[in-house]
Structure 1
C-alpha cells in the first residue's frame, strides 16, 4: 500500500510548479505546498484521487495568498519581479514547451496582469493541461465560468507573449558570449550583442543600489553595464552562468561566494533584448547565502575612489 506521505512526495514537484506559477514566489509556493500537505494529512476520508485533491488544494491556497499579496506588490519599491527559479522540479516531456515558456520572467510578469482566478485557470489549463472539469473543481467555479476565464486569460497572454528564439542552443551560446564579455570587462563586446531597443530593469525592492527603475536603449544600457563591470570587478565578484526561470542567465556572487544578484536574459533575433536583474536579498535566500548589496557596493565605490 502506498502511504499518503509517499503519494504526496511523488506529487510535490507538480504542486510546487503550479503554486510557483500562480504566485511568482518560491517561498510562498513552498508554504502553499506545505499547507496542502497538512490539509491532505488531516482529511478523514480518502480522496478518490490524490493528484486531484492536492492540485485543487494547492491552487485554492495560492489564489488566496495571491489576493493578499496584490496589496503588498502595489506598495513595492521599484519594479517587482518574481523570485528567480533556477530549476523547475516538475518535468513532463509532453508539456516541456509550455512548462518552459510559462516559467520565463516575461511570461510570469504577463500573468501578473490577470486576476487571481484567471491566473489559476490559465496555469492549470494551458500549462498543465488539466481538463475543464478538473479546473472547475480546483478553483470552485462552474465549467462554463472557467472556459470564459480561460478565454480572457489567453487573450491577455497572447497579446503580450514574448518572442524567444526557438533554438535554445543558440540562445545559450549568445548568453555565454555576453557573460564572458562582462567577465572580461569587454564593454565593446557587450554592446555589440545588445539590441538597439534593449532594456535593463532591476528589482532591488529598495534594499539594493538602483540608479533608476529602467534603462532603455543601447547607449544607456551600455553605460550601465560599463559601470557594473567596474563595480563588480572591484568586489572580486564571480559570474556563474545559470538558467534563470528557464532562460539563459547568471548568478553573481561576491568574493566569498555570497549571492549579489541574478540576471535573466531575453534573447530575440540573435541579440539581447531585455536584461532583468534581481538584487533584493529577500528574493535570493533560496539561491544561497546572500550578500548585503548596499554594503558590497559601498565597498566597491570606496575602492574605486581610492584607486582614482
Structure 2
C-alpha cells in the first residue's frame, strides 16, 4: 500500500485521538492534516505507519492544546467541546466504550488534566496503546507515562458519576424528553429531570445566550417549555441526533441552517445536565450555520406581539 492509502486507512483513528485530546473538531482536523504533511515529506519510510502517525498527531495535538488552554481561560462564558455527531473510528467490539470516552462529560473531565496526562490517558485507556507506544508518542519514558496515567485516572475517577445509564435507557429517556419539550409540557419535562439538573450554554460571546447556567428541575422545565413554542413560531426545528455518543438534538432555523446542538447527560434515570452549543464558530463542521442573532431578534418580536 502506498503512503496515501496507509494514511487514509488510519485517518479515522488519528482524528479520534486528536479530537479527544483537543475537544475541537476543527483543531483535530488540522492536526490530522499536519500529520499527513509530515508523513508524506518524511525522507524515510517508517516501519509502522500507525506508530509514526499516531505519535505525530499526538505531539501536534499536545502543542495545540497548550496554547488552546490559554484561550479557553479567557473564553466568554462556559466553554464546551465542539459537538461531534459521528465518530469516524468504528470498532464494533468497543463501540459503547468509545462513545462514552467522547461524551461532553468525559471531555470536560479531560480538561482538568495537563496536556501530557490527557494524551497518555487517551492513548492508553481509550485506544489501548502499549506503554512503549505511548512513551514514544509523548516523548517521555515508560515509567513517567505510568505515573502520568495514575494521576490522570485519579482525576477522571473523582469526577465521574457513580451510576451511569445504559445506552437503551438514555435513548428512551431522550425520546420522552424531546417529546415533552416539543409539546411545551412543563410537568412532563419536570418528571424527567434530576432535582439538581443544570442547563449550560456555550455562546462564546458570539450568540445570544443565558447570562448563567439555569439550575433546578422547576426552573429548567419552565424555561424549556416557554422557549420551545417561541422557537417553533419562528420556524426553528430540531432532529434527535446522537451527540458525542450521547442522546441529543440538532436545531435548524427556517432555512435549514444549523442553529445549535443540544446534548443530554443521563444519570440514574433522569436528565442531569443539558448542554447547548450555539457558538457559530463551533458548528461550521456540521453544515452552513444560521445567524443566531437574527433568530433571537425574531423570537423577541414574536414574544412582544404575544403580550
**TM-score, scaled to structure 1:** 0.97
- Aligned equivalent of 1:60: 59
Q: For 1:192 and 1:235, how far apart are their aligned partners in 2?
A: 27
Instruction: Give the C-alpha shift of residue 163 in structure 1.
Output: 4.8
Alignment deviations for residues 60-105 of structure 1 (CA, whole Å, 9 cap, x no partner): 0000000011111011000000000001100123433331111010
Moved over 2 A (4+): 93-98, 162-167
Instruction: Give the C-alpha shift of residue 164 in structure 1.
Output: 5.8
CA RMSD of aligned residues (A): 1.2
Unaligned 5+ segments in structure 2 are none
- Aligned equivalent of 2:140: 141
**TM-score, scaled to structure 2:** 0.97
The secondary structure found in structure 2 opposite 1:242 is strand
- 1:188-199 alignment runs, 5 A limit: 188-199=187-198
Q: For 1:256 and 1:228, how far apart are their aligned partners in 2?
A: 19
Q: For 2:100 and 2:162, how far apart are their aligned partners in 1?
A: 10
- Aligned equivalent of 2:258: 259
The count of residues paired between Structure 1 and Structure 2 equals 307
Q: For 2:63 and 2:210, how far apart are their aligned partners in 1?
A: 35
The secondary structure found in structure 1 opposite 2:242 is coil
Alignment deviations for residues 91-146 of structure 1 (CA, whole Å, 9 cap, x no partner): 12343333111101000000001000000000000000000000000011000100
Q: For 1:157 and 1:263, how far apart are their aligned partners in 2?
A: 23
Q: For 1:304 and 1:214, how far apart are their aligned partners in 2?
A: 22
**Contact 2:103 2:246 survives alignment (8 Å):** yes
Unaligned 5+ segments in structure 1 are none
- Aligned equivalent of 1:272: 271
**Contact 2:165 2:269 survives alignment (8 Å):** no
Q: For 1:259 and 1:235, how far apart are their aligned partners in 2?
A: 14
The secondary structure found in structure 2 opposite 1:248 is strand
Q: For 1:131 and 1:51, how far apart are their aligned partners in 2?
A: 13
The secondary structure found in structure 2 opposite 1:210 is coil
Q: For 1:187 and 1:240, how far apart are their aligned partners in 2?
A: 20
- Aligned equivalent of 2:287: 288
- Aligned equivalent of 1:244: 243
